[in-house]
Amino acid sequence: MIGPITSALTSSGITNLVQSTSSSVTTETLLKAIGRPGFILIDNDISPDTKKYAAAKEFLYQATCLLVYMALVIPVFKKGAFKYGQKYLFKDMPEAGFSKFKDLKTYELYRKLSDKSVEDRQHILNINKLQDRFSPDIRKELTTAEDPDKFTKIKGCVELGSLVGSVLGLAILAPQVSHAFIHPALRMLGLEKKDNKANKVDNTKTQSLNKTA
């Protein structure tokens, strides 16, 4: 018997999230944005001001990573990988199924529908008038096949693109972007002083004042 916990654990929502590199990396980055500043804040060995500063910096870093990832990496690399697969990598391999889909959106819609039962698929296709989006053989596959072809090579190509995008985006691009963004943001929040040079001038001024006094 399938219990409620097992049912929730194996739900198609979680499965799709796990099987998609971009969704899983987004979730993990989101968790890091919560967890890491949290750990800094509960550390008793640091002074409250340092804690505040370090936690804000870590949160801003992870938030920037997330934004860069969602805005640039996901659309560019996922779509790019699909096109690369369609035009170069699997061009001479019709069984991969790239020629059956117009674009990535159509393939993703097909994947979503293929998880459902035949009756549900027929119903959704009729109600939402989605038939026109698919080629005749794909439409046939969706309306008749008990276990439709998943076209794993397309899925794999898209995931490989996401993986490369995730690595480039999170390990190389996001740190550079965050470096430019974090310090002004911290200054705006009042957690960082305006300019180190200005501080130095202030320090020399106070020292000279002390001497004269």
Partner 1 sequence: MGFQNFLRNVCSKLGENNKPTYAVVAIAAVKGICRPTFTMMDKTEKPETKKYTALREGLTELIAIPVYIGCGYLAGKCSPIFTKNVKKEDFLTNKVKQDIANGVSNEKITKAISNAEKQLEKYKIRATNNLRFIGVCAAALVAIPALCSITIKPVMSKILKMPKENTEDNNLKQQVMQQPQQITNYTKPAVKLKTYITAPQTGMKVGGV
Identity of the residue, 43 or 137, whose beta carbon is nearer to partner 1 in the bound complex: 43
Please give the angle made by the CA atoms of 118, 120 and 141, to the nearest 5 degrees: 35
Burial of 10 by CB count in 10 Å (0-12 exposed, 13-18 middle, 19+ buried)?
exposed
- Spatial distance between the Cα atoms of 159 and 21, rounded to a whole number of angstroms: 6
Please give the angle made by the CA atoms of 115, 116 and 120, to the nearest 5 degrees: 160
Considering only residues 134-173, where is the footprint of partner 1 by CB under 8 A?
146, 150-157, 159-160, 162-163, 166-167, 170-172
| The pair of three-digit structure tokens given for residue 54, joined into one six-digit string | 């370090």
* Candidate residues 9, 71, 145, 189; the one interacting with partner 1 per rule CB under 8 A: 9
Least CB distance to partner 1 at residue 20 (A):
8
Considering only residues 66-85, where is the footprint of partner 1 by CB under 8 A?
85
- Spatial distance between the Cα atoms of 209 and 213, rounded to a whole number of angstroms: 6
Q: Is 78 within 8 Å of 161 (Cβ atoms)?
A: yes
Is residue 18 part of the contact set for partner 1 (CB under 8 A)? yes
- The stretches of the chain forming alpha helices (DSSP H) are 4-9, 12-19, 21-41, 48-68, 74-84, 104-114, 118-127, 136-144, 152-168, 174-188, 196-212
Considering only residues 28-67, where is the footprint of partner 1 by CB under 8 A?
28, 31-32, 34-36, 39, 43
Q: Which stretch binds partner 1 (CB under 8 A): 21-29, 101-109, 120-128, 132-140?
A: 21-29
Q: Which stretch binds partner 1 (CB under 8 A): 13-21, 119-127, 132-140, 182-190?
A: 13-21
Binding site for partner 1 (CB under 8 A): 1-3, 5-6, 9-10, 14-15, 17-21, 24-25, 27-28, 31-32, 34-36, 39, 43, 85, 89-90, 93, 146, 150-157, 159-160, 162-163, 166-167, 170-172, 175-176, 210, 213
